[in-house]
Amino acid sequence: MPTHRIEVALRPEFKDPAGEALRAQVREDLNLEIGAVRVIDVFTLHAALTAEELERIRMDLFTDPIIEHSAVNASLAENFSCLIEVGYLPGVTDNAGRSAQEGIEDSLGRKLAQGEAVYKSTLYVFQDTDAETAKTIASNLLANELIEQYAIRTPEEMKALAGKSLLALPRVVEYAVPEVESIDLNLSDDALQQLSRDRMFALELGEMQVIRDYYNRADVQAHRRSIGLPDKPTDIEMEILAQTWSEHCKHKIFNAVIHYDEGNGKVRVIDSVFKSYIKKLTDEVGKRVPWLVSVFDDNAGIIQFDENHLFALKAETHNSPSALDPYGGAMTGIVGVNRDVLGAGLGFQCIFNTDVLCVASPFHDEEIPPRLLHPRRILRGAHAGARDGGNQSGVPNVNGALVFHERFLGKPLVFCGTGGLSPAYIQGRPAHKKAARPGDAIVMTGGRIGKDGIHGATFSSEALHEGSPATAVQIGDPITQKKMSDFLMEARDAGLYNCITDNGAGGLSSSVGEMAEKPGGAVIHLDKAPLKYAGLAPWEIFVSEAQERMTLAVPQETLGRFLDLAERRGVEATVLGAFNDSGYLECFYKGEQVASLDMDFLHHGLPRMELEACLAPSPDPVEVTAGEGKSDLTDDLLSLLGSLNICSKENFVRMFDHEVLGQSVLKQFQGVQHDGPGDAGVIRPLPDSYRGIAVSCGISPKYADLDAWSMTACAVDEAVRNLVAVGAAMGTIAGLDNFCWPDPVQSDSTPDGKHKLAQLIRSCEALYEICLTYDIPLISGKDSMKNDYRIGDTKISIPPTLLFTAAAIIEDTRRVVSVDVKQAGDRVYVLGDTLNEMGGSEYFTLQQISGGKAPTVDPKKARTLYEALNRAIQGGLVASCHDCSDGGLAVALAESAFAGNLGMDLSLEALGVEDGVTALFSESQSRFVVTVSPDHAEAFEAVLAGSPCYCVGVVTEEPLFQINCPDGRKISASLDVLRSAWKKTLNW
């Protein structure tokens, strides 16, 4: 088959923004000044095309007549010192190549033949950069060698190529399908463990033994012989068990029996932290709030939005894939959680996304351990992946965070959340209820299956190590998914299916395995599954986590209509088998049975873990006071405003589409210049109703080392404060808990496992206590428990981290409040008490002071305040409201002021805090900065009576921000100085 190459570039007279952007990135990230860079798009056509056809494609499709030029089988690069071409490795999703193929077929008026394909690559042409520098640029910025190949060439070398490709054709070489093996488990304990490691099962010895014993049972062997299967498990059966029983899918640690020594010698037994705290909490709160619809047992939590609509919410992590390939990892994170919502109930339309990234400092200047990427690269890549995934799917990002901590060097955290809306009834059926029935066809829709994403579930159930598989990395294809979700919404409304779920971790094995639980069995023919390329073993087909796929149970009566609609919508849909009530999950390949697993053993055979937890004595809470020192703290405030966890993230956020669907009510950035940091996103999803949804997040890993209880309580309180600040009422808030922990299982490589598990219990206790008092049910959640890096002698464990995502139904969006101060003369109030809780604070971090007391939360007192504040907001008494968090009061006040482009004249005497540093920078929880018009001040104070409410000054016309503390400490700065300090750090 001939291979042709079409190069397309901007004509030389036009500026090349992509080249300029790369040059800027080289300057910022690599500290190198380089000359001009031009970018050339390359399309490699592996197809039989005539010269006339090539010319037609070049002009009709590839070349913009206004600004571009192009060449067939010749290079456009000229006057260069060297160039780099970057393309994908074989088998990696190539979205641009696939779209180009559709475009070519349109231009030619015919389909390309089987085996013909188009591949996209990019050529970077450097004017005066040497080959060595080019290599640095290629390996550090342009190519990720897990998924991409690159080549560097000099002009002489290019001449020798004479228009031929620089890169190997990324075509998957088809090879014979491996035979199904059977695996001997009658081995020594050591050999069983070795087997589990070698084959990436990630199963513990006890679990391997339970599987061995199952296969040694006489009844099991009799059954197997009767259907012609060997006594020993087949490779596909082992893979199914390994992924179904993985930590990722089964949450073994959250369900374990834990013997907990609280440090006082007494040991108590906790029978599953999930049941004892999370589920118990939701059961209790569920008795008091009337709007829970479906919790814990679907792909997302579902609550009532209004009488006729349901709201679904889910957040996921995609940490391990993002560590290896930040772009693909984050993109598959966001499109993956979109599928969770698309697969909740009978299918929800995604209406917003949230993105939270946790990384080490992008300015990290020490050596990076092997296999880890620089935090700057992770930040850029993960942000771009989440951005492209969300934007191209047409789902607005409405809330999120960038969080920095040195130990996220070991594993970045990538949290992706999605909210969805559905009518409460679909063709008279409750939209949250679904079940496959015996006889229903098993239909897979969307993308095809490849080797991508194999072992994702088991891979994310262990630390990042040298053998971490590159196949776990994959790139998303939002357009294929968008086509599929458009189609599924149509099929849903036409009532064409009984059940739907997504193919995420564990692929078909997980989706079919779970859906088969209700009917009680399934038969699946793996050779019918559409593949990206031949050569996949049956087990690979079944556990591949290739993206953009949903599995449905389609009744035979509507199957024809379902498949027909799919075809019309350009969506691949394939019948793979049928659900039944046989009690077995059975897989066939080319007519031969390759797996038969007892449904009961598969889903309930996993032995429960027994774990030990013991809280290490906490270092005595050192009494640290900021003490003596200078009286002018203006510079300290400016440094804080510029610190990573506080500074503006506007450049990152603006790259997300945050208004598609047209439902936006409160945006991420607010105020006169649209640059003040909002507290919660608010949308109004139905055009004929003022009812809305507010969504926010809270996350405080910086307190974790001092006290996991505080870390958790502060995360929950922050999320709730953010909602209350915009006008949400207590009793309307639902929560999602996403735990990301370092491995908490005691072992040789984790000698402090007992303590980390005790921290998990402390965290769950806080979650339970705070949410119970706030009446917040946890409607869904997820845990990721192996966030460690371990290669050689280097071990980096992340700080225990809870992301708390909170959403509230807002009855009347016309009442919501933004953060920006509105009018000179308005009074400035601080709500909530300020205590000496400087431990873990941004101020202490800045001053390099460790120790101190982390903030705590008094939920009863806080709830009273939140209810009073809500009455004031509903009464129209509040002009602006801003939550007080990282950096403390001074930061919150400054942000409110510059957002409104107005000054403040403040005196903190009323707070009753003697030490000015504490008053300004302590991060005590449950506080707000509120401004109130003088006309409303009396009424406001009356509503707040009984809660801590202190008037500290006024909003001024003069653009000057001044604070005086009782001990003589003070701050004075112009709004411009404050704003620019806040904006400059991440102004990339």
Interface residues with another protein (CB under 8 A) are 10, 14-15, 17-18, 20-21, 60-62, 64-67, 95-96, 98-100, 102-103, 106-107, 109, 120, 387, 391-394, 478-479, 482-483, 486, 568-570, 654-662, 664-667, 669-672, 674, 684, 687, 813-814, 816-818, 820, 822, 900
Q: Please, what is the minimum distance in Å from the beta carbon of residue 110 to another protein?
A: 12
Compute the distance between CA of residue 82 and CA of residue 136 in angstroms, rounded to an integer.
13
Nearer to another protein, 656 or 843 (CB): 656
Q: Please, what is the minimum distance in Å from the beta carbon of residue 308 to another protein?
A: 17
Work out the widest C-alpha separation in the chain, in whole angstroms: 88
Instruction: Provide the β-strand partners of residue 9.
Output: 40, 69
Nearer to another protein, 682 or 758 (CB): 682
Q: Please, what is the minimum distance in Å from the beta carbon of residue 674 to another protein?
A: 5
Nearer to another protein, 710 or 813 (CB): 813
Q: Please, what is the minimum distance in Å from the beta carbon of residue 21 to another protein?
A: 4
Q: Which residue has tokens 């922990």?
A: 741
Nearer to another protein, 388 or 707 (CB): 388
Nearest Cα to Cα of residue 897 among 878, 882, 911 = 882
Write out the E strands in 47-153: 68-72, 82-88, 117-126, 148-153
Nearer to another protein, 468 or 663 (CB): 663
Instruction: Provide the β-strand partners of residue 117.
Output: 46
Residue 826 · residue 332 · CB < 8 Å: no
**Exposed/middle/buried for 604, CB within 10 Å: 0-12, 13-18, 19+?**
exposed
- Angstrom CA distances, 123 to 22, 140, 165, 766, stand at 12, 16, 11, 53
At 10 the three-state DSSP class reads strand
Compute the distance between CA of residue 381 and CA of residue 359 in angstroms, rounded to an integer.
11
- Angstrom CA distances, 688 to 63, 70, 419, 684, 937, stand at 45, 51, 20, 9, 34
Compute the distance between CA of residue 724 and CA of residue 862 in angstroms, rounded to an integer.
11
Compute the distance between CA of residue 853 and CA of residue 833 in angstroms, rounded to an integer.
16
Residue 296 · residue 780 · CB < 8 Å: yes
* Tally of CB atoms within 10 A around 25: 17
Nearer to another protein, 101 or 643 (CB): 101
DSSP 730: T
Q: Please, what is the minimum distance in Å from the beta carbon of residue 443 to another protein?
A: 20
Q: Are strands 733-740 and 801-810 parallel, antiparallel or unpaired?
A: antiparallel
Q: Please, what is the minimum distance in Å from the beta carbon of residue 651 to another protein?
A: 9
* CA-CA-CA-CA dihedral for 891, 892, 894, 900, to nearest 10: 150
* Tally of CB atoms within 10 A around 106: 12
Nearer to another protein, 419 or 888 (CB): 419
Q: Please, what is the minimum distance in Å from the beta carbon of residue 871 to another protein?
A: 19
Q: Please, what is the minimum distance in Å from the beta carbon of residue 809 to another protein?
A: 16
Q: Please, what is the minimum distance in Å from the beta carbon of residue 330 to another protein?
A: 15
CA angle 680, 683, 689 (to 5 degrees): 140
DSSP 800: P
Compute the distance between CA of residue 132 and CA of residue 160 in angstroms, rounded to an integer.
20
Q: For the chain, what is the radius of gyration of the CA atoms? A: 29
Nearer to another protein, 760 or 873 (CB): 873
CA angle 210, 212, 216 (to 5 degrees): 115
Q: Please, what is the minimum distance in Å from the beta carbon of residue 254 to another protein?
A: 37
Q: Please, what is the minimum distance in Å from the beta carbon of residue 84 to another protein?
A: 18
Q: Please, what is the minimum distance in Å from the beta carbon of residue 362 to another protein?
A: 17
Nearer to another protein, 437 or 569 (CB): 569
Nearer to another protein, 13 or 367 (CB): 13
Task: State both tokens at 744.
Answer: 């908490």
Nearer to another protein, 351 or 594 (CB): 351
Q: Please, what is the minimum distance in Å from the beta carbon of residue 67 to another protein?
A: 6
* CA-CA-CA-CA dihedral for 927, 929, 933, 934, to nearest 10: 70
Q: Please, what is the minimum distance in Å from the beta carbon of residue 107 to another protein?
A: 6
Q: Please, what is the minimum distance in Å from the beta carbon of residue 931 to another protein?
A: 12
Residue 69 · residue 63 · CB < 8 Å: yes
Q: Please, what is the minimum distance in Å from the beta carbon of residue 394 to another protein?
A: 3
Q: Please, what is the minimum distance in Å from the beta carbon of residue 58 to another protein?
A: 12
At 6 the three-state DSSP class reads strand
Nearer to another protein, 466 or 688 (CB): 688
* DSSP secondary structure string for all residues of 759-770: HHHHHHHHHHHH
Task: Determine the residue type at 635.
Answer: D
Compute the distance between CA of residue 649 and CA of residue 473 in angstroms, rounded to an integer.
27
CA angle 239, 245, 246 (to 5 degrees): 85
At 716 the three-state DSSP class reads helix
Nearer to another protein, 478 or 781 (CB): 478
Nearest Cα to Cα of residue 904 among 935, 874, 882, 936 = 882
Compute the distance between CA of residue 599 and CA of residue 579 in angstroms, rounded to an integer.
12
Nearer to another protein, 387 or 790 (CB): 387
Nearer to another protein, 384 or 849 (CB): 384
CA end-to-end distance (rounded Å), the chain: 45
* Tally of CB atoms within 10 A around 667: 18
Helix ranges restricted to H, 81-234: 95-108, 131-137, 155-161, 189-198, 205-216, 218-226
Q: Please, what is the minimum distance in Å from the beta carbon of residue 462 to another protein?
A: 34
Nearer to another protein, 665 or 724 (CB): 665
Nearer to another protein, 109 or 946 (CB): 109
Nearer to another protein, 787 or 818 (CB): 818
Compute the distance between CA of residue 655 and CA of residue 651 in angstroms, rounded to an integer.
7
